[in-house]
Amino acid sequence: MTVPQTTSIPRVEAQTSRTGALRLSWTQPEDLVAHAINAAGEEGRDLGALGERWSEAGGSLIPAVTGATPLQAEPKLRSLARELMYELDLVALPEVIAATEPDDLEDIRALLTVSDEGVIPPTDAMNVDPTTIQDRIHGAWLGRAAGCLLGKPVEKIPRDGIRLIAQSTANWPIASYFTEVGLDPAIADRFPWNRRSRSTSLIENIDGMPEDDDLNFPLIALDLLERVGRNFTTRDVAESWLANLPGGRVFTAERITYRNLLNGYEPEEAGAIQNPFREWIGAQIRADVYGWVNPGRPGTAAELAWRDARLSHRRNGVYGAMFVAAASASAIVSDSVDEVLSAALEIIPPDSRYATAIRFGMDLGRSTHATERALDLLYAEYGHLHWVHVLNNAALLAFSLVRGAGDFETTITLAVTGGWDTDSTGATAGSITGALTGARGLPGRWVDPLKNRLATSLPAYDQIGFDELAARTATLAGETTSIHSQEIRG
């Protein structure tokens, strides 16, 4: 989910204006107010005259455009922004949202049609060959990287821009990593590459998997499980972030939470304080490993993901993590996308906006609509949301998985063709189909450029091989299976 600096929404980690003032994106109160008002509106909160107070004081209700000279907020405007951010946290949720989209794990479980781990009776992973499980975990790691890498250079470029770039370089429909060889200069000027990814993510310069938060967070999860074990807490997640992640390499909800932790808020509350990004995609990109280490146990995987996600997210942001963890647990032992999605849907509140988005995407995937027409319908339903929001990207993920029907290339290229958060949705789509396929079945044109090497912000893992990551993850999966076996015998 690395956010580019080419078009809307400020994302520059540190930017100095002409007056020399340091600007940190995703933290400046005057930048956050518009996001917070939008988020409150999506949840149906009654804001009264709060928006008018902000606009009448000179504040914008539309997030600023990245690349423009940052405005220096007058002290009074910044002070008002801080005041409004505090007040926004106090506005009550509508009763229907509070009832159908709870945050507490037990309240979530109370809404499910079946109980706890079962949700769906877990596949007996004890009878699956450990070599097969390791190959599928290896495929999931490689698939996550390949899907992310495909989406990195075009992240946040709109659908029509992605299509024009691909057509201009003889790569439409998308069938390989992007290139700028042969790209029409006018198209390049109109739709510039993600600045951070241009030098590492085009086919002519790929040299292993470059650093990305979509891979950093799975490494955090793996490290946490190896050091602390499956009984880790949200506090353990917070401590791991602070110890392993530079503050400049976390974004949106994670950056707000990081700041709140440094300000002394407890991990259980840090994600709820002045955080307008609490229903964005960040927690969803952190959850795969919790599924991989719990093959055939979607409920257990979802619980681990919940402990992680609640550090920074609420409601649908948390459900995204739970859904992906459950899907990942199922994908390691299942034979079809339908099995995976059915298992994952069972562990999230059925009347939530997230479940609705998944079902919408699945229905589009099963429809007879051509891809572009289906994406038009998807955008008609969810195109009003920010490109990093969890709901639009979840619907696109479900569409890509169903329409791809387990084919790795079809699935990741559809996910990226759809736009929005291309590297994150591409990564998750690649993870799930990579697990269904297994490493031995993945096409070489997608995995060979990875060179079995991953760059990362986490020093202990930099340049690690995907084969080693798979072996270590499989070891944890074997321990989980052994514990489950003992529980059954007990």
Q: What is the mean pLDDT of residues 186-198?
A: 95
What is the structure's pLDDT at 442? 98
63, 73, 57: which is closest to 23 by C-alpha? 73
Between 483 and 366, whose confidence is greater? 366
Q: For a pLDDT cut of 90, what percent of the chain falls above it? A: 83
Confidence of residue 22 (pLDDT cuts 50, 70, 90): low
Distance CA 159, CA 327 (A): 27
Question: Beta 22-23 vs 15-16: how paired, if at all?
Answer: antiparallel
Q: Is the pLDDT of residue 4 over 70?
A: no
Q: For a pLDDT cut of 70, what percent of the chain falls above it? A: 88
Distance CA 292, CA 304 (A): 12
Distance CA 361, CA 345 (A): 13
Weakest mean pLDDT among 68-72, 348-352, 460-464: 68-72
Whole-structure pTM over 0.85, yes or no?
yes
Q: Is the pLDDT of residue 489 over 50?
A: no
Average pLDDT across the chain, whole number: 91
Between 70 and 172, whose confidence is greater? 172
How does pLDDT run across 53-101, given as a tens digit for each residue? Answer: 999 999 988 876 543 444 557 889 999 999 999 999 999 999 999 999 9
Query: Rounded to the nearest 10 degrees, how much is the dihedral formed by the CA atoms of 247, 250, 256, 257?
Result: -80
How does pLDDT run across 373-390, given as a tens digit for each residue? Answer: 999 999 999 999 999 999
What is the structure's pLDDT at 259? 96
How does pLDDT run across 284-337, given as a tens digit for each residue? Answer: 999 999 999 999 999 999 999 999 999 999 999 999 999 999 999 999 999 999
What is the structure's pLDDT at 28? 87
How does pLDDT run across 106-158, given as a tens digit for each residue? Answer: 999 999 986 545 444 455 555 678 999 999 999 999 999 999 999 999 999 99
Q: Is the pLDDT of residue 363 over 90?
A: yes
208 contacts 274 by C-beta, under 8 angstroms: no
User: Counting Cβ atoms within 10 Å, is residue 36 exposed (0-12), middle (13-18) or buried (19+)?
Assistant: buried
Q: Is the pLDDT of residue 400 over 70?
A: yes
